[in-house]
Amino acid sequence: MLRFPFAASFIPPGVLPDARLLLWARGLRAFGDGYVSLLLPYYLMLLGYSALEIGAIVTATLLGSGLMTLGVGFVAHRFRQRTLLEFAAVLMAATGIAFVLTTDFWPLLLIAVIGTINPSSGDASIFAPLEQSLLTRTVSAEHRTALFARYSLIGALIGALGAQASGLPTFGEKWLALDIKYAIQVMFLVYGVCGVISFSLYRRLSPQLEPHDEAPSAPLGKSKRMVYTLAAVFSLDAFAGGFAVQSLLALWLLQRFELSIVTAGTIFFWTGILGAFSQLAAARLARRIGLINTMVFTHLPSNVFLILVPLMPTLPLALLFLMLRSALSSMDIPARTSYVMAVVTPGERPAAASLTAVPRSLASSISPMFAGWLLTLSPFGWPLVICGGLKIVYDLILLAMFRRVRPPEEQ
């Protein structure tokens, strides 16, 4: 069995061994997503595409992930979730290879729609809802939020390492005399290898995670209204987030302050580190003030900091507020995931996880194209201001609608 260093202290007590396999797979995908989200716009710039065309491809990646996640939500109760995860891992491997084989716009746009390339620092993909529903079966309600905090921590921390790895093609060009485009294509191949390894991990999951007697006849039962309401509210947050996905935030920094890709990778490494470790505090904070309050009262100040980033006249000041934003913006992630898993019945969890994850990709797929267009008009950073403002509206709506809807452990 794969084990993490210091697993006894890192993994909450009473967690089944299958959780470690899922955490390893999450880490692999996070590493690939971490550098792909930065290399994608840089690679497309090297190919000669405009900011609008880059925004279109980013939009296509999010739109495709959203549609596939939605489809999984409606069929997950009919199939083994392990089988669906294995299929997604194969698709990840194929995506990495396909991005190497073509450089034309329309084929790249098609690959972006049907592939698993993730331009976000988060986990906007069909993997997340399937993994989350399986993780819930490996832990008790008492330690559920703590396990999801570890799940999010691994994604953010290793994603930050992946962002740092985005500088490898530049070093390959400098020290090995590699063509920069070729070096980036090698990184896409490594992304595909991460998919192959993930497939082998999913194959080792225990069949006991999917008892047939809990399989519902329909994706959702009595929790349908709750799930759809949550999905609608989350869609506003996701739409707002699309204005500042990591790929476009990196593009703004590259244009506004004329940074190198190595410097941008270092910046996102440290913002990722801050976001990663802050999530460990989410479980403890949730025990004190509740899951909804944890989501809202950490998210609000982070959005104010985001609005202030483009208002700063110098790079150090902009980075200060970007770091402050990163220290708080991710604490809602484990709380949100745990909340969704807690307020639905066990048999509805796969569908609930999928359908509430759709906004993380589908709704956010609309805004990157507008953000790219805004960046062609002005270097100011209007997408960041719009993102922060809309997210504040989301926080207030979430607090008003769900502060009285508590999971069983808070009642």
- In one-letter notation, the amino acid at residue 38 is L
The string of pLDDT tens digits covering residues 299-337 is 999 999 999 999 998 889 999 999 999 889 888 888 898
The predicted structure's pLDDT at residue 74: 74
Count other C-beta atoms under 10 Å from residue 23's C-beta: 24
In which residue are the tokens 């073509």 written? Answer: 102
The predicted structure's pLDDT at residue 13: 65
| Residue ranges in the chain modelled with pLDDT below 70 | 1-10, 13-14, 76-77, 119-124, 211-218, 359-362, 411
Domain 17-410: top CATH class:
mainly alpha
Count other C-beta atoms under 10 Å from residue 378's C-beta: 10
The burial of 316, by beta-carbon neighbours within 10 Å (0-12 exposed, 13-18 middle, 19 or more buried), is given as: exposed
Asked if 112 and 57 touch (Cβ cutoff 8 Å), the reply is: yes
Chain center to CA of 58:
14
The predicted structure's pLDDT at residue 253: 87
The predicted structure's pLDDT at residue 216: 59
The predicted structure's pLDDT at residue 240: 92
For the chain, the straight-line distance linking the first and the last C-alpha, in angstroms and rounded, comes to 37
Three-class SS state of 345: coil
Each domain of the chain, given as residue ranges in start order, spans: 17-410
In which residue are the tokens 């759709």 written? Answer: 358
Please calculate the CA angle 313-39-276 and round it to the nearest 5 degrees: 70
**CB neighbour list of residue 269: distance below 8 Å, 6 or more residues apart:** 160, 161, 163, 164
Report the alpha-carbon distance of residue 328 to residue 325 in Å, rounded. Answer: 6
Report the alpha-carbon distance of residue 186 to residue 165 in Å, rounded. Answer: 12
The string of pLDDT tens digits covering residues 366-384 is 888 888 888 888 888 899 9
Helix or strand (DSSP H, E) at 93: helix 81-101
**CB neighbour list of residue 314: distance below 8 Å, 6 or more residues apart:** none
The predicted structure's pLDDT at residue 212: 54
Strand stretches in 31-171, DSSP E: none
The predicted structure's pLDDT at residue 406: 84
